[in-house]
């Protein structure tokens, strides 16, 4: 009689697959380190343990040496680095324990830099009013000086990126909390002999430079880069980089998700770095996703091709643009170049100028796209309407509706008056756009009877309730239905 089979008789690959099902029920972690791999960080820097040593993964690792070896890659898939002495110390621990090879996603959280020479006096004055806030900023200011003076960030990032042999994503985030807000409030109320300020531009530029240098010196390929608040001045720094270096960097990207953020007008800065986009995009032949944009409430007024240079990416599956004043022909040209492969299209905070019409863009999306599965239209309008309304009264110009942190209830799908009976057919959509599954077959069937002229586009303004109608109409295309049956 055959002996009973036990779990340790299974191959390592099968045990790892079983482990993946165990981990599906565990909440994802925002932070991973050798000493704190299942904890989430709160703004003040303290940690709250989600499971500690009682999580399924931790218990699995305690079974035996073999299970520990199999589960180690699941334990350290992400690493979050904060720009601080403690953050870089944790990174050194990861490297010393030879665990960096398991990291697939690396997030670098950087604070605005302390700029100006009057900080000692300012922090001394803050101490008399709020000792805790003063101590927090003294520590951060000392950390900044220590890290930059010693070049510890450059050295350790180079070492780390080279050691991240499984790396697939790099994310650069701007970190700002309540302690920063309280300090900024104090600075606004006080006068200083020397100007002092928290400046994101030098912090972002240094981070971009060190990450790019580290990536070029590593063997990492197929990288997704995410930067939701990139300073446009950091792109100016890249304009001093040789074209060959930029091309090498672009060739390693599979996804680029960048939003430029500045309180100033970015138009002139972006125009001056057109060549940087050309060199990077020309060599980025492996791009499957591009999300590129600017602050939706301060859209830039530059040509789309000043950035995209009439290039085509054969593997591109997702395209999203944000915060732009454009002609309809520019958008149509970019979409048509990728009509055979695009599956997701996003247009956010885009305002048409020079007499363009949204119905022309919608017609192309509806009638010419071969693979489209998801459409995202938010805060789209006409430039003339944007200019005629103040930011306080015009919801389309408000940044709150496009913030990644905002949760705005979706409106009910509203068709033209003679189709008003369709309203109840539409469930609330997700914030990531509409898919064909978002709508019932009855709704899609009735929408197919509409033409672009029935969509209520008057060429002057776009109402909020029209966004979902237009998404649904695009997805109701007979081309999509034919492809689904094949």
Contacts of 316 (CB under 8 A, 6+ apart): 287, 288, 289, 290, 338, 341, 342
pTM of the model: 0.81
What whole-number distance in Å separates Cα of residue 199 and Cα of residue 368?
46
pLDDT at 161: 97
Per-residue pLDDT at 480: 61
Residue 34: inside a domain: no
Q: Which of 454, 462, 336, 314 is nearest to 397 (CA)?
A: 462
- CA–CA distance, 355 with 182 (Å, rounded to integer): 46
Asked if residue 38 is part of any domain, the answer here is: no
pLDDT of residue 22: 67
Strands 47-49 and 113-115: unpaired
Q: Are residues 188 and 251 in the same domain?
A: no
Domain of 382?
221-388+440-447+461-485
Q: Give a yes or no: residue 364 inside a domain.
A: yes
Is 349 within the bounds of a domain? Answer: yes
* Same domain, residue pair 273 and 181: no
Q: Are residues 235 and 374 both part of a single domain?
A: yes
> Three-state secondary structure along the chain?
CCCCCCHHHCCHHHHHHHHHHHHCCCCCCCCCCCCCCCEEECCCCCEEECCHHHCHHHHHHCCCHHHHHHHHHHHCCEEEEECCHHHHHHHHHHHHCCCHHHCCEEEEEECCEEECCCHHHHHHHHHHHCHHHHHHHHHHHHHHHHHHHHCHHHHHHHHHHHHCCCCCEEEEEECCCHHHHHHHHHHHHCCCCCCCEEEHHHHHHHHHHHHHHHHHHCCCCCEEEEEEEECHHHHHHHCCCCHHHHHHHHCCEEEEEEEECCCCCCHHHHHHCHHHHHHHHHHCCCCCEEEEEECCCCCECCCCHHHHCCCCCCCCCEEEEEEEEECHHHHHHHHHHCCCCCCEEEEEEEEECCCCCHHHHHHHHHHCCCCCCEEEEECCEEHHHHHHCCCCCCHHHCHHHCCCCCCCCCCCCCCCHHHHHHHHHCCCCCCCCEEHHHCCHHHHHHHCCCCHHHCCCCCCCCCCCHHHHHHHHHHCCHHHHHHHHC
Cα end-to-end span (Å), the chain: 50
Q: Give the position of tokens 């104090």.
A: 186
C-alpha 91/C-alpha 114 separation (Å) is: 23
Contact (CB, 8 A) for 447 and 426: no
Say how many domains are in the chain. 2
> What's the rounded Cα separation, in Å, for the pair 484 and 363?
20
User: Is 70 inside a domain boundary?
Assistant: no
Whether residue 145 sits in one domain with residue 233? no
CATH number, position 258: 3.80.10
| Residue 289 counted as domain residue | yes
Cβ atoms 123, 141 nearer than 8 A: yes
- Which pLDDT belongs to residue 317? 97
pLDDT number for residue 53: 55
Dist. CA 332–CA 18, nearest whole Å: 47
Same domain, 280 and 384: yes
> Looking at the structure, do residues 161 and 255 belong to the same domain, yes or no?
no
CA distance 3 to 273: 69
Q: Cβ(426)–Cβ(413) under 8 Å?
A: yes
Shared domain for 132 and 238, answered yes or no, is: no
Question: Using CA atoms, how far apart are residues 334 and 283, in angstroms rounded to an integer?
Answer: 18
Residues 384 and 460: beta-carbon distance below 8 Å:
yes
pLDDT at site 132: 93
162 touches 217 (CB < 8 A): yes
Contact 303/330 with Cβ under 8 angstroms?
yes
- Shared-domain flag, residues 249 and 348: yes
pLDDT tens for the chain, 486 residues: list them.
467 777 777 787 777 777 777 666 554 444 444 434 333 333 333 333 344 455 777 777 777 877 777 677 777 789 999 999 999 999 999 999 888 998 999 999 999 999 988 898 889 989 988 999 999 999 999 999 999 999 999 999 999 999 999 999 999 999 999 999 999 888 888 766 678 889 999 999 999 999 999 999 999 999 999 999 999 888 888 888 899 999 999 999 999 999 998 877 788 888 989 999 999 999 999 999 999 999 888 899 999 999 999 999 999 999 999 999 999 999 999 999 999 999 999 999 999 998 899 999 999 999 999 999 999 999 999 999 998 874 443 344 333 333 222 222 333 454 444 333 333 333 333 346 789 888 888 888 899 999 999 999 999 999 999 999 999 999 998 876 555 554
Indicate whether 54 belongs to any domain. Answer: no
- Same structural domain for residues 251 and 382? yes
Note whether 363 and 323 are same-domain residues.
Answer: yes
Q: Which residues of 246-260 are buried (b: 16+ CB within 10 A; e: fewer)?
A: bbebbebbbbbbbbb
Query: What pLDDT score was predicted for residue 175?
Result: 93
What Rg do the C-alpha atoms of the chain give, in angstroms?
25
**Residue 226: how many other CB atoms lie within 10 Å:** 18
- The pLDDT value given to residue 412: 46
Q: Are residues 117 and 193 in the same domain?
A: yes
Q: Are residues 253 and 124 in the same domain?
A: no
The answer to whether residue 402 is domain-embedded is: no
Would you state the structure tokens that stand for residue 69, as one six-digit string? 């070896």
């Amino acid at each position: 009689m055959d002996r009973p089979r036990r779990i340790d008789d299974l191959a390592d690959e099968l045990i790892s697959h079983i482990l993946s099902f165990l981990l599906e029920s565990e909440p994802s972690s925002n932070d991973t380190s050798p000493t704190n791999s299942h904890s989430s960080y709160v703004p003040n820097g303290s940690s709250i343990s989600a499971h500690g040593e009682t999580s399924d993964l931790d218990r699995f690792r305690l079974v035996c040496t073999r299970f520990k070896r199999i589960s180690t890659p699941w334990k350290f898939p992400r690493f979050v680095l904060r720009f601080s002495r403690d953050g870089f110390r944790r990174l050194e621990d990861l490297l010393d324990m030879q665990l960096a090879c398991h990291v697939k996603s690396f997030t670098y959280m950087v604070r605005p830099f302390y700029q100006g020479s009057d900080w000692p006096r300012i922090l001394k004055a803050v101490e008399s009013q709020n000792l805790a806030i003063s101590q927090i900023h003294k520590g951060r200011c000392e950390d900044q000086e220590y890290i930059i003076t010693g070049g510890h960030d450059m050295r350790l990032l180079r070492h780390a990126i080279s050691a991240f042999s499984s790396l697939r994503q790099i994310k650069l985030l701007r970190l700002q909390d309540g302690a920063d807000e309280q300090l900024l409030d104090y600075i606004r109320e006080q006068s200083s002999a020397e100007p002092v300020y928290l400046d994101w531009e030098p912090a972002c530029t240094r981070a971009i430079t060190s990450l790019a240098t580290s990536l070029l010196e590593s063997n990492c390929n197929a990288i997704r880069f995410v930067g939701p608040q990139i300073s446009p001045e950091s792109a100016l720094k890249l304009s001093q980089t040789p074209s060959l270096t930029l091309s090498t960097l672009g060739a390693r990207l599979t996804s680029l998700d960048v939003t430029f953020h500045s309180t100033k007008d970015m138009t002139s800065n972006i125009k001056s770095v057109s060549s940087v986009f050309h060199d990077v995009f020309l060599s980025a032949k492996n791009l499957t996703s591009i999300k590129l944009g600017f602050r939706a409430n301060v859209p830039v007024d530059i040509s789309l091709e000043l950035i995209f240079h009439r290039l085509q990416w054969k593997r591109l599956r997702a395209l999203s643009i944000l915060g732009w004043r454009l002609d309809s022909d520019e958008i149509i040209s970019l979409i048509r170049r990728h009509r055979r492969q695009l599956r997701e299209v996003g247009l956010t905070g885009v305002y048409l100028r020079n007499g363009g019409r949204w119905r022309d863009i919608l017609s192309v999306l509806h009638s010419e796209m071969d693979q489209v599965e998801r459409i995202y239209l938010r805060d789209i309008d006409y430039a003339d309407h944007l200019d005629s309304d103040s930011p306080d009264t015009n919801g389309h110009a408000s940044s709150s509706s496009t913030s990644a942190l905002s949760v705005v209830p979706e409106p009910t799908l509203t068709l033209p008056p003679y189709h008003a009976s369709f309203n109840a057919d539409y469930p609330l959509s997700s914030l990531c756009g509409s898919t064909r599954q978002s709508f019932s077959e009855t709704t899609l069937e009735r929408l197919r009877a509409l033409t672009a002229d029935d969509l209520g586009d008057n060429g002057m303004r776009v109402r909020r309730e029209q966004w979902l109608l237009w998404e649904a109409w695009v997805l109701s295309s007979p081309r999509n239905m034919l492809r689904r049956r094949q």
